[in-house]
């Protein structure tokens, strides 16, 4: 589903890589310790696959930040990345398309048909800064779906900001909110692209015109006032879906990596 067939020209790969670097800087503006989140995930994967080539599924992988890190950290690995956004998945395909260890699929987690092209068992299913985009009932459905994809002893991990409760944790919430504000201003007031600026740059690339047109249609009716769910909601749902142990493997204020073992 990329816009090119055959080898991707090297200038286009360079451009995609520079967009990924700018994406990483932009995302780090929102997630002060994004690198530590990723590191916690790598540590868990290494531990559950001491003598085995890990097979990983990255849900809503975007342009492939975590995929790139996993390839560097655990060279003998197989990764499948799934994302709904035609432009982000095209950038990922431009960067990793020649890589035998990576398969990239454009698919929408909102519909159960996202599973159509997924087969076999995974050691780990991972996701970062993405599942808060799903309606809670869809998130629950996805948790039941992935429980069937992960081998016994395998893991699901989600790195995301999870909201403190507005009433019973108002002080926690205020501190996390202030820290987010400070992190964002340290980046976005000092030359790092904010969300809109990054998209303006990426959407202006002529090679991506077709993906840009498609993404506009795909996101047209997106509900942007999504209900936020708590850490407890995630953990309880994962338990109900059949995960035997659930908890957190990393936390900074309201930013977590939660883990659920099969
Ligand atoms: C903030 S980005 C994070 C991307 C990447 N995981 C990262 O950490 O850099 C959120 C991602 O979720 C994807 N996404 C949102 N809703 C989705 C859905 N229903 N199905 C698949 N991907 C989705 C978006 O396209 C976007 O790539």
The answer to whether 179 and 32 are in contact (CB under 8 A) is: yes
Q: What is the mean pLDDT of residues 158-173?
A: 93
| Residue predicted with more confidence, 1 or 191 | 191
Average pLDDT over every residue of 153-162: 97
The token pair at 89 is: 């998945």
Q: What is the pLDDT of residue 165?
A: 87
Predicted pLDDT of residue 8:
87
Report the separation in Å between the CA atom of 127 and the middle of ligand 1, taken as the mean of its atom positions. Answer: 9
CA of 166 relative to ligand 1 center, distance in Å: 25
Q: What average pLDDT does this structure show over 156-163?
A: 95
The answer to whether the beta carbons of residues 131 and 227 sit under 8 Å apart is no
**What is the atom index within ligand 1 of the atom nearest the CA of 88?**
27
pLDDT for 163 = 85
Q: What is the mean pLDDT of residues 110-123?
A: 97
Give residue 57's region: left, alpha or beta (phi > 0; psi -120 to 50).
beta
Output the CA 3–ligand 1 centroid distance in Å: 20
Percent residues over pLDDT 90 in the chain:
91
Report how far ligand 1's centroid is from the alpha carbon of 73 (Å). 22
Positive or negative CA dihedral for 42, 18, 106, 255?
positive
Q: Which of 62, 109, 158 to mutate to test the pocket of ligand 1 (most atoms within 8 A of CB)?
A: 62
Helices and strands counted in the chain (H then E): 9, 7
Separation of CA 62 and ligand 1 centre (Å): 5
Compute the chain's Rg from CA coordinates: 18
CA of 189 to the centre of ligand 1 (A): 25
> 240-251 pLDDT, tens per residue?
999 999 999 999
CA distance 220 to 216: 6
Which ligand 1 atom sits closest to the C-alpha of 159?
Answer: 8
* Closest among 32, 22, 20, 162 to 91, alpha carbons compared: 20
CA 180, distance to chain mean position in Å, is 19
Residues 147, 140: contact at Cβ < 8 Å?
no
Residue 3: pLDDT over 60: no
Q: Where are the beta strands (DSSP E) in 48-174?
A: 55-59, 78-83, 102-106, 122-128, 150-161
Kind and range of the H or E run holding 251: strand 245-252
Other C-beta atoms lying within 10 Å of the C-beta of residue 18 = 11
pLDDT for residue 1 is more than 50: no
Residues 201-238: tens digit of each pLDDT: 999 999 999 999 999 999 998 887 888 899 999 999 99
* % of residues, the chain, pLDDT over 70: 98
Q: What is the set of domains in the chain, with CATH numbers?
A: 10-261 (3.40.50.150)
Q: Ligand 1 centroid to 185 CA: how many Å?
A: 23
End-to-end Cα spacing for the chain? 33
Residue nearest to atom 4 of ligand 1 (CA): 62
Q: Say whether pLDDT at 4 is over 70.
A: no
Structure confidence by residue, pLDDT tens digits, 94-107: 999 999 999 999 99
- Locate the ligand 1 atom nearest the alpha carbon of residue 138 and give its number: 19
Taking CB atoms and a 6 Å cutoff, what residues make up the pocket around ligand 1? 27, 60-62, 65, 83-85, 88, 108-110, 128-130, 133-134
- The two tokens of residue 238 are 């994962």
What pLDDT does 249 receive?
98
Q: Which atom of ligand 1 is nearest to the CA of 34?
A: 8
pLDDT of residue 5: 66
Res 2 pLDDT > 50: no
């Amino acid at each position: 589903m990329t816009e090119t067939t055959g080898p991707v020209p090297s200038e286009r790969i360079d451009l995609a890589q520079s967009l990924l670097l700018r994406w990483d800087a932009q995302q780090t503006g929102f997630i002060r310790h994004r690198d530590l989140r990723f590191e916690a995930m790598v540590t868990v994967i290494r531990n559950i696959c001491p003598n085995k080539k890990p097979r990983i599924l990255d849900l809503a992988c975007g342009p492939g930040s975590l995929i790139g890190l996993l390839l560097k950290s655990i060279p003998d690995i197989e990764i499948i990345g799934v994302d709904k956004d035609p432009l982000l998945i095209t950038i990922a395909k431009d960067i990793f398309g020649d890589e035998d260890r990576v398969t990239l699929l454009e698919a929408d987690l909102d519909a159960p048909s996202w599973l159509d092209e997924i087969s076999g068992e995974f050691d780990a299913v991972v996701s970062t800064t993405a599942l808060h985009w799903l309606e809670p009932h869809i998130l629950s459905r996805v948790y039941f779906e992935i429980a069937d994809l992960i081998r016994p002893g395998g893991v699901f991990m989600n790195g995301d900001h999870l909201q403190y409760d507005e009433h019973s944790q108002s002080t926690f919430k205020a501190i996390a909110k202030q820290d987010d504000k400070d992190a964002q201003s340290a980046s976005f007031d000092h030359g790092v692209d904010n969300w809109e600026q990054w998209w303006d740059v990426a959407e202006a690339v002529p090679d991506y015109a077709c993906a840009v047109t498609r993404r506009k249609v795909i996101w047209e009716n997106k509900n942007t006032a999504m209900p936020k769910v708590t850490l407890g909601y995630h953990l309880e749902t994962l338990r109900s879906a059949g995960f035997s142990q659930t908890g957190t493997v990393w936390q900074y204020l309201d930013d977590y990596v939660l883990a659920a073992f099969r």
